[in-house]
């Protein structure tokens, strides 16, 4: 109690004496925490839109399709709170700009439904006064490029054409986005649907169930299967919808984790530096406190309380600001509380840990207040002696001496620069890996740039057409089928491409070898993990009822489907699946533009062929580049802030020496050179160490991350020497520019030879 009172006085006085610095610490921590929360929540929302849509639309957890309107009381199943529908749904084809897309036309009343209601994003909902109105699901609308007010031509199964008009574009959490999830979705009034598709036998009924507990979806869907038996067409739960909406979630998950760790390390560094610098500056006061009767533990507790509460205040402010920012962007119901709470808790822990070390050191201050705070080791360091030996100018020698006389601050400065630099190098490595994806798609399994489907033409005719094109280097006929693996509930993708022995598609095999005969296969890391298989194993799959037995002889880099893909030669598949080929993969000649070849093929076939460009995984990961840039900016700022603290501390230590140096006849310019050399050496060392460590771990880290995301090891690329050189030069240059500011001020200032 008594120490609390005495300590309270001391903390109050200390904070009052350095309001600006304390405010800066709070703001720095608050900024990092707010940025973390905003980035994580917004990125999470961007990559996993399901949760937001589900909350907005008051969505249903289980959806099932039946032939007739379900006759049993599904609402009575345990755990079901609301039933959406049943809504009648008819398969139609939408003809838009010459393209035809299968669509599911859903009848919905004009009154908004309580559960699983589509939320209108543009325009208005269906209105009975406009019977020709249609509302289109947003991803489908953007794929069709239709706007509100545009005509929307549907072709019923009978072949009859009906022209509707788009009244609105709406979001729904009922199914995944088009074109990953087909058919597309559009809503009309029940009367309109009756007019377009009068035959009830050609439509199905869609029912959604909202549950009290989302985890019960699997059990409820099984109950539905049992109750509806042969009436049931198909059933799926929110998990499938979410999975369909997610964008490379595992890859982004690891990226988010990396971002979080970097943010935490940055916050810790900033705080440890601020608190450590303050403690070093207060050693005399701490000694005085001890001579008055503060114990070691009490001094440590005092410092922990003071600096820790500043940090925690920053965490709190940052959490509030980050929360407010995300709420402003997304709306209150859409901000996930879990990541925010995790960030707050982990930053609070990191704050206490970061402050704990300087507090502990402060507690160990010897109680003799007369103990000098000047460099305790005045002799020349080895480096300085070397500098003397090669007859460097005196300023350089003095600076070299200064750099290492106080080892702990020197280490802290080097460390404070090396960590951000290491992270920046890793960020550049991720960038280089993405660039490598783009410039060498064949190294990630995308040797072919175009996929051509026969479309309206005969397969043989299509093949002749593509082989004739001057830009095409090689044509690999292929097919993609789903296969059931033994003991697995879900199916895996089997990609058959090219021949097994001759004309094999050049998959990027990183382990083992490429298949050389029918019955051999290569697979991605995700498949090995899924089946628990290894190279050399024989796996038995079922493709559409017929067995497919292959031996896996190699591992490929596989960016698709979390790496859960088995690749074989086309002749390994049964003829019913392989003939005629489903598509042709076209490898182009170096320098040929895929867009040009595509246009040429379309023109040659009279729009008969369906030519698609292969999506490079790097294109889908553009958001990572934004994150990398933000990360590099944040890290640079933190590194420079650390350097400024270190410079200020160094100046405090050397204020007396500077006066002596000036008295000895050093010009202000030489004094400045001395100071800049001192910090510059540490800067160069820190940047070099950080870059070296970053380069040595980056490939491993990316490969590790590739492994967990199923792509598999073998994609990591270190940044190019040129990028690294530029980064190092920029870092050292910026650091020196920052170091010059206090040095100049110190060199110009009149430093009196004062008593301590």
Partner 1 sequence: MTPVLKTVHLVKIYSDGAVPVPAVRGVDLQVEPGEFVAVMGPSGSGKSTLVHMLGGLDSRTSGEIWLDGQRVDTLSESAWALLRRKKIGFVFQFFNLVGNMTVADNVELPALLAGASPKEARERRESLLGALNLTERADAAPGQLSGGEQQRVALARALANQPSVLLADEPTGNLDSRNTRDVLKLLSNVHKEGQTIVMVTHDARVAGLADRLVSLFDGEIVDDGRIARKRTRTAGAVIDLR
Per CB under 8 A, residues contacting partner 1 are 1-3, 5-6, 9-10, 13-14, 16-18, 284-285, 287-298, 366-370, 755-756
Q: Shortest distance, CB of residue 310 to partner 1, whole angstroms?
A: 15
Q: How far is the CB of 722 from partner 1 (least distance, A)?
A: 50
Element at 7 (helix H, strand E): helix 2-17
Complex with partner 1: residue 1 or 76, whichever CB lies closer: 1
The nearer residue to partner 1, 367 or 499, going by C-beta atoms, is: 367
Helical (H) or strand (E) element with 50: helix 50-57
Q: Output the six-digit token pair for 718.
A: 């270190």
For partner 1, which is the closer residue by CB, 294 or 505? 294
Q: Is residue 180 within 8 Å of 246, Cβ to Cβ?
A: no
CB nearer partner 1, residue 17 or residue 722: 17
For residue 667, give the 3-state DSSP assignment: coil
| Closer Cβ to partner 1, 374 or 730, answer by number | 374
Least distance (Å) between residue 306 CB and partner 1: 12
CB neighbour class for 390 (10 Å; exposed up to 12, middle 13-18, buried from 19):
exposed
- Looking at beta carbons only, is 379 or 382 nearer to partner 1? 379
Give me 394's structure tokens.
């005196």
Q: At closest approach, how far in Å is the CB of 370 from partner 1? A: 7
d(CA 227, CA 223): 6
| Residue 298 CB, nearest approach to partner 1 (Å) | 8
Using only C-alpha atoms, the chain has a radius of gyration, in whole angstroms, of: 34
Minimum CB–partner distance for residue 285 and partner 1 (Å)? 5
In this structure, what token pair is assigned to residue 573? 């598949």
The candidate with the shortest Cα–Cα distance to 253, out of 47, 451, 406, 398, is 47
Cα–Cα distance measured from residue 684 to residue 188, given in angstroms and rounded to the nearest whole number: 68
Rounded least distance, CB 753 to partner 1, Å: 15
Min. distance of Cβ 374 from partner 1 in angstroms? Answer: 14
3 state SS for 513-577: CCCCCCCEEEECHHHHHHHCCCCCCEEEEEECCEEEEEEEEEEECCCCHHHCEEEECHHHCCHHH
Sign of CA dihedral 144, 150, 156, 158: negative
Which two structure tokens, joined as six digits, stand for 525?
Answer: 């890391």
Which sign does the torsion angle of CA 54, 59, 60, 63 carry? negative
- In the complex with partner 1, the residue whose CB is nearer, 164 or 302, is 302
Residue 295 CA to residue 362 CA, distance in Å, equals 11
CA angle, residues 133, 138, 140, in degrees to nearest 5: 90
Nearest to 259 by CA among 421, 419, 418, 427: 427
Nearer to partner 1, 302 or 541 (CB): 302
- For the bound state, the minimum distance from the C-beta of residue 305 to partner 1, rounded and expressed in Å, comes to 16
736, 741, 745, 751: CA torsion to nearest 10? -50
Residue 63 bridge partners (DSSP): 208, 236
Minimum distance between the CB of residue 674 and partner 1, rounded to whole angstroms?
Answer: 28
248 neighbors 620 (Cβ within 8 angstroms): yes
Nearer to partner 1 among residue 179 and residue 372 (C-beta):
372
Q: Which is nearer to partner 1, 391 or 756 (CB)?
A: 756
């Amino acid at each position: 109690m008594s120490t609390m009172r005495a300590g309270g006085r001391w903390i109050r006085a200390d904070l009052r004496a350095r309001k600006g610095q304390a405010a800066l610490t709070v703001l720095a921590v608050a900024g990092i925490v707010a940025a973390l929360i905003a980035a994580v929540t917004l990125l999470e929302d961007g990559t996993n839109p399901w949760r937001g849509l589900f909350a907005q639309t008051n969505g249903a957890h289980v959806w099932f399709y039946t032939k007739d309107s379900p006759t049993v009381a599904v609402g009575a199943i345990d755990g079901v709170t609301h039933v959406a529908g049943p809504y009648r749904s008819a398969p139609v084809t939408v003809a838009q700009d010459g393209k035809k897309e299968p669509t599911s036309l859903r009848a919905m009343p004009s009154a908004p439904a309580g559960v699983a209601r589509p939320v209108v994003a543009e325009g208005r909902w269906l209105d009975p006064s406009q019977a020709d109105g249609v509302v289109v699901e947003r991803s489908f609308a953007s794929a069709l490029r239709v706007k509100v007010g545009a005509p929307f031509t549907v072709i019923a199964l009978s072949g009859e054409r009906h022209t509707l008009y788009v009244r609105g574009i709406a979001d729904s959490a009922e199914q995944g986005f088009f074109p990953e999830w087909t058919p597309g979705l559009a809503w009309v009034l029940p009367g309109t649907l009756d007019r377009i598709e009068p035959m009830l036998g050609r439509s199905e009924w869609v029912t959604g169930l909202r549950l009290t507990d989302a985890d019960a979806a699997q059990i409820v869907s099984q109950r539905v299967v049992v109750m509806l038996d042969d009436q049931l067409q198909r059933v799926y739960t929110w998990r499938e919808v979410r999975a369909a909406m997610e964008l490379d979630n595992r890859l982004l998950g690891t990226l988010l984790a990396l971002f979080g760790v970097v943010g935490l390390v940055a916050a810790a560094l900033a705080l440890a530096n601020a608190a450590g610098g303050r403690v070093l500056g207060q050693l005399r006061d701490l000694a005085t406190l001890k001579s008055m009767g503060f114990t070691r533990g009490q001094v440590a507790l005092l410092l922990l309380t003071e600096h820790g509460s500043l940090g925690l205040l920053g965490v709190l402010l940052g959490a509030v600001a980050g929360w407010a920012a995300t709420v402003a962007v997304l709306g209150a119901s859409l901000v996930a509380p879990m990541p925010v709470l995790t960030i707050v808790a982990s930053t609070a822990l990191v704050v206490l840990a970061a402050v704990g070390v300087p507090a502990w050191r402060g507690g160990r201050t010897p109680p003799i207040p007369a103990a000098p705070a000047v460099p305790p080791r005045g002799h020349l360091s080895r480096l300085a002696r070397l500098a003397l030996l090669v007859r460097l100018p005196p300023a350089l020698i003095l600076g070299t001496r200064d750099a290492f006389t106080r080892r702990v601050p020197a280490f802290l400065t080097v460390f404070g620069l090396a960590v951000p630099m290491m992270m920046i190098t890793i960020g550049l490595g991720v960038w280089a890996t993405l660039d490598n994806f783009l410039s060498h798609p064949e190294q990630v399994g995308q040797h072919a740039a175009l996929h051509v489907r026969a479309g309206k033409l005969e397969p043989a005719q299509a093949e002749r057409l593509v082989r004739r094109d001057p830009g095409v280097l090689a044509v690999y006929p292929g097919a993609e089928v789903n296969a059931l693996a033994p003991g697995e509930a879900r199916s895996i993708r089997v990609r058959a491409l090219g021949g097994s022995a001759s004309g094999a598609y050049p998959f990027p095999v990183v382990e083992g070898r490429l298949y050389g005969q029918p019955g051999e296969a290569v697979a991605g890391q995700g498949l090995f993990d899924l089946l628990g298989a290894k190279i050399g194993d024989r796996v038995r799959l079922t493709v559409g009822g017929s067995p497919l037995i292959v031996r896996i002889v190699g591992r490929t880099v596989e960016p698709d489907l979390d790496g859960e893909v088995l690749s074989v030669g086309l002749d390994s598949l049964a003829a019913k699946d392989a003939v005629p080929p489903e598509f042709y993969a076209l490898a182009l000649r170096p320098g040929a533009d895929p867009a040009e070849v595509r246009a040429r093929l379309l023109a040659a076939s009279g729009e008969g062929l369906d030519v698609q460009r292969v999506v490079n995984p790097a294109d889908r990961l553009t958001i990572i580049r934004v994150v990398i840039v933000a990360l590099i900016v944040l890290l640079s700022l933190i590194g420079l802030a650390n350097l400024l603290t270190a410079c200020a501390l160094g100046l405090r230590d050397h204020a007396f020496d500077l006066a002596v140096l000036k008295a000895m006849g050093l010009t202000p310019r030489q004094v400045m050179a001395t100071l800049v050399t001192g910090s510059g050496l540490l800067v160069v060392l820190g940047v070099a160490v950080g870059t070296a460590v970053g380069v040595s771990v980056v490939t491993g880290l990316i490969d590790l991350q590739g492994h967990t995301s199923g792509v598999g090891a073998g994609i990591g690329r270190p940044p190019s020497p040129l990028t690294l050189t530029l980064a190092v030069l920029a870092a050292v240059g910026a650091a020196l520019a920052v170091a010059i500011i206090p040095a100049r001020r110190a060199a110009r200032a009149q430093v009196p030879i004062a008593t301590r």
